[in-house]
Amino acid sequence: MLADAARGFLDQAAPVAHLRGLRDAGQTQDRALWSEMAAMGWAGVLVPEDAGGSDMGHAAACALAGEMGRTLVTSPFLSTAVIAATALRQVSDARAAQSLARIARGEVTYALAIDEGAKFDPEATQMQARAEGNGFRLTGEKRFVVDGANADRLLVLARTDGGLTLFEIPADRDGITREAQAMIDSRDAARITLADVIATGEDVLGQVDDAMTVLAPALRAGQAALAAEMAGLAAGAFGMTVEYLKERKQFGVPIGAFQALQHRAAHLWCECEVTASAVLNAGRMLDEDPANAAMAVSLAKARATDTAQRAVQEGVQMHGGIGMTDAFDMGFYMKRARVAAEWLGDYGYHANIVAQARGF
């Protein structure tokens, strides 16, 4: 029911044409659209009820993310409602509760500043958080910060004397420079430089030198929701392709009547269904047994990455020449699939986690 309601809303308020309009206008987000989503309770899907959220769980968050993937919605849902909300839920204090309430009301957006190299690798973080008095000074650079150009607050991972520490700071604090990056999928992303940025003990989310206790559950939540988005993307591209096979004619008959194309479409449908099942399982595991959800989440992200890329490649090929043009929407699906494949760990990163979990 949640997915059906989301699909009805997004088909009207944020079809792929909406993304095209934002791109052509040089914009990466629609604040009014996010406000509508928050008003419907989507921003609070993982926020506890006593903080004003619905606390529907990760399976529900994945259902919403999947529908957003179908129409390539650009919004801070993953960064804010999923990743930041999950991180803040790991901390039991008044400040975290207030931040969660603001997320649920749609008053604040977040971005996760982790990546520093070409690949996702939190443990390799080199940004320094140098102890100074009762606080720290943060110096370094973060790349590929999704939603970073427009976010109100940042979750920044930095290296302290005894390990890694997660900081929650305003994006406009002195010493922070944000450089918006032109992503091929028209999604908001930035390169963020921190130069002697002052952070107090109150800015630490969780405990000093123990970032992963807070961050690991948030990353798994984000990876599962991103997998759901990519599964939705694959379903959207597949649906567009099937409709084209029914309409395009050669030799006086629809090309969908050709057996070779039927076989390719059937194979792609099977891949989409198996991936959807993996995504459902990841959401279930996060809700029922989060401590043991890592393999299910990585399996979902790896499969979704492969399926989304297969869907867009087949879509472009079966559309023929028009599939290569900017005037046709399939290109938007291909670009989003390529960028999403790299965010929060690529296929190789997650396939390795699955292999290790299975003893290989």
pLDDT at 139 > cutoff 90: yes
The radius of gyration of the chain's CA atoms, rounded to the nearest angstrom, is 21
Backbone φ and ψ for 154, nearest 5 degrees, come out as: -125, 140
Q: Kindly indicate the confidence band of residue 46, based on its pLDDT and cuts at 50, 70 and 90.
A: very high
pLDDT of residue 323: 83
pLDDT at 255 > cutoff 90: no
Mean of the per-residue pLDDT values for the chain?
95
Where is pLDDT greater, at 111 or 251?
A: 111
Q: Exposure pattern of 336-357 as b/e (b: 16+ CB <10 Å)?
A: bbbbbbbbbbbbebbbebbeee
Q: Which domains does the chain have, with CATH numbers?
A: 2-109 (1.10.540.10), 111-211 (2.40.110.10), 212-357 (1.20.140.10)
Tell me what the mean pLDDT of segment 202-226 comes to.
97
Which run of H or of E encompasses 231? helix 211-247
| Span 310-343, pLDDT tens digits | 999 999 999 887 888 888 899 999 999 999 999 9
pLDDT exceeding 70 applies to what percent of the chain?
100
**Residue 272 buriedness (CB in 10 A; 0-12 / 13-18 / 19+):** buried
Rounded-to-integer distance, Cα 51 and Cα 348, Å: 38
What residues form DSSP beta bridges with 155?
A: 112, 168
190 CB-side CA count, 13 A: 20
Which run of H or of E encompasses 193? strand 189-200
Residues 6+ apart with CB under 8 A from 48: 55, 89, 100
pLDDT at 182 > cutoff 90: no
pLDDT exceeding 90 applies to what percent of the chain?
90
| Span 13-40, pLDDT tens digits | 999 999 999 999 999 989 999 999 999 9
Q: Kindly indicate the confidence band of residue 236, based on its pLDDT and cuts at 50, 70 and 90.
A: very high
> Terminus-to-terminus CA distance in the chain, angstroms?
40
pLDDT of residue 334: 96
What residues form DSSP beta bridges with 177?
A: 193
Range of lowest pLDDT (107-116, 150-159, 162-171, 313-322): 313-322
pLDDT of residue 321: 78
Tell me what the mean pLDDT of segment 143-159 comes to.
96
Listed residue (97, 101, 121, 99) closest to 110, CA to CA: 99
Q: Which two tokens stand for residue 50?
A: 């006593």
Rounded-to-integer distance, Cα 216 and Cα 211, Å: 8
Torsion of CA 252, 254, 260, 265, to 10 degrees: 170
| Span 257-314, pLDDT tens digits | 899 999 999 999 999 999 999 999 999 999 999 999 999 999 999 999 999 999 999 9
**Residue 268 buriedness (CB in 10 A; 0-12 / 13-18 / 19+):** buried
